[in-house]
Every structure is written in C-alpha cells, then in structure tokens.
Structure 1
Amino acid sequence: MPHSTTPVVTSDAYLTLHYRLVSNDGNEIISTFSNSPATLQLGSGQLAPELESALLGLEEGSHTILELAAGNAFGPRNPDLVQQVSLETLQENSVYGEKYVVGDLVEFSAPGGGQFAGILRAFNESGALFDFNHPLAGQAITFEVKIIGIL
C-alpha cells in the first residue's frame, strides 16, 4: 500500500482553514466560510484548547463537522465565576459613565494589567452580578472545519 503524503494537523501546525461554530439552538456564533479563511498557529491560544484538540489528525483538504458535547468546547460552567461586583469596583475598572443593561458584556481591567470580561446578569443599588464564564461554557457546540492548508 502506498504511504499517504497528505499533511495532517499536528499540535504545532500552522493552518489555513474555514471554520464555523453553531450553538445547540442552531445560532451561528462565528463563521469564516463567507469571508477569507482564517490562519492560525495551533498551541498559541488562538482557539480554545478543546477546539484545537478536535483538529488534531485531520488531513489537509478535509471538511469535517464535529459535535462537541456540553462543556467540551469551552469548558463546563463554573458557579464560582458568577460574582457580585461593587459599584465602586465597576466604576474603577470599566468605562467611566457607561450605562450598562442586563445582558451587556463588560470589559474590566485585570489586576497587573490585561483585560477580562463578564456578562451583566443583575444590577441593584449595591452593585452588579456578573457572569465571568465564557458565554459558551457548558453548551454543546457544532464545530465545522475545512482544512485548506497545513504548514
């Protein structure tokens, strides 16, 4: 039998690909299929680790649709990441004077630099309740990928 020379995705591969994420309720979250393909380096944090793992071993030219179970794409929901933030902390670490409404994604300055974000779940006179879980944590995801090139 002849040995296959088709490149396959490895843990440090540089890829050109199209991909699409669809939530379990059928809403498209992101897609590159109607635009230019994405290029990324595996292992560099550009995709969630679980999505990178799903790509390993796929051949160049392959078109695959993967069903990732709840919690397997962006991790399980962590109740400890739903936290009360004081109004003072909110004012100090976000855009001053911003009027937030429930459902907003709010970016905060992290201690020591950097940014993180949470979704506003509730608001009252003493503060705000934020969910710092990834918005897709705990959800089943359909991950469609077409591998165009592997370096």
Structure 2
Amino acid sequence: MTQAAISANSSVLFHFDITLADGSAAESTRVHNKPSKLQMGDSSISPAFEAQLIGLVAGDKKTFTLAPQDAYGMPNPDNIFYVDRSKFSGDAPAKVGSIIGFTMPDGSELPGLVRDVVGESVTVDFNHPLAGQTLTFNIEIVKVS
C-alpha cells in the first residue's frame, strides 16, 4: 500500500522546529511532543509554507527557509496599542518584555508584548512575536490523511 502524499486538501500532522536567522531556537513542537495539525488550504498558514509540504509523505523530513512575508508576515503598526498603566495588575505588571494575555470583546485571549513603559503609558505590541523574521523550519511529517 502506498502512503498518501500531501495534496492541496490533506490533513497533516507534523512536528516542526523553527530557528531564527542567527540560529537560535524560536519554537518547537518536540518540546512537549505534541505535533501540530494542519488542514491544507484553510488559509491558516501561508501558501509558501503549504507549497513546501506538497508531495511529502509520513516519515519525510524537510528543512526550508521563509522570508518574513511568507512566514508570520511583517509587523503591522496598527497592531501596536498604547494602554494606560492602570489597566495592568500585580499579577501581570507592565514590564518591558512581558507577554500578557488580554481578553478580547468576544472572550478570546490575545497575547501582547510590552515594548515600552513611559509614565502611565504602556506600549503593547499584538503582532506575532515572529513577525518580520526570516525563519528556518525543520519539519517531520507524522501522518497524512
């Protein structure tokens, strides 16, 4: 029996390791041994990433590098907000470098990175932390269906 190859509408279970341009580790599904699941064609990842997966089968490994616009995109200045310091608590202080979850009107939580604190104004960046980065992906296909 031949293995199913990844096509435009496959469901894919895969491990990935992401490294930055300087070689430092950014993210990995192997840390907790929880592979990522992807439905090809659902627009959850970039067409450039999907194109790297087409034709692969379970057990295949591949390494590729994507430019920022093909990975997590470029930072959007509209995703940077200025929040009053009083909105922060002792549990989640306004400290540069902190990632804090903010509850959205629909009840979901969106992580924001505190970029700057000046007086009572806190600059919070809601762009993906890897936006604007050239990234190298090491992937291993676990299952294709």
Q: Shorter-chain TM-score category?
A: 0.7 to 0.9
**Deviation sequence 1:56-113 (CA, Å, 0-9, x none):** 332333211011012311011111212211234x24xxxx333231000011110121
1:123 corresponds, among 117, 125, 138, to: 117
Question: Secondary structure in 2 aligned to 1:108?
Answer: strand
Paired position in structure 1 for 2:35: 38
Q: Distance in 1 between matches of 2:25 and 2:38?
A: 24
Q: TM-score, normalised by structure 2?
A: 0.80
Give the greater-gyration-radius structure (CA): 1
Match of 1:24 in 2: 21
In structure 1, stretches of 5+ residues that fail to align are: none
Query: Which residue of structure 2 lines up, in the alignment, with residue 146 of structure 1?
Result: 140
Which of 55, 58, 75 is 2:56 aligned to?
58
Which of residues 4, 9, 25 is equivalent to 1:7?
Answer: 4
SS at match of 2:72: coil
Question: CA 1:44 to 1:108, structure 2 compared with 1: closer, same or farther past 3 Å?
Answer: farther
Structure 2 residue 105 is matched with structure 1 residue 111: yes
For the aligned residue pairs, the C-alpha RMSD in angstroms reads 2.7
Q: Any runs of at least 4 consecutive aligned residues in structure 1 with deviations exceeding 4 A, and if so which?
A: none
One-letter amino acid of the counterpart of residue 145, structure 1: I
* Partner residue, 1:67: 65
- The percentage of aligned residue pairs carrying the same residue is 27
Q: How many residues align?
A: 142
Is the contact made by 1:62 and 1:147 (CA closer than 8 Å) also made in structure 2?
A: yes
TM-score normalised by structure 1 residue count: 0.78
Distance 1:112 1:9, change over 3 A: same
3-state SS in 2 of match to 1:80: helix
Greater shift after overlay, 58-67 or 137-146? 58-67
Corresponding position of 1:49: 45
Choose from 129, 135, 139 the match for 2:129. Answer: 135
Deviation at 1:53, TM superposition (A): 5.0
Cα separation, 2, equivalents of 1:43 and 1:15: 7
Question: What is the letter of the counterpart of residue 146 of structure 1?
Answer: E
1: CA distance between counterparts of 2:125 and 2:64? 27
The 1:83–1:57 alpha-carbon spacing in structure 2 relative to 1, beyond 3 Å, is same
Distance 1:73 1:139 in 2: 8
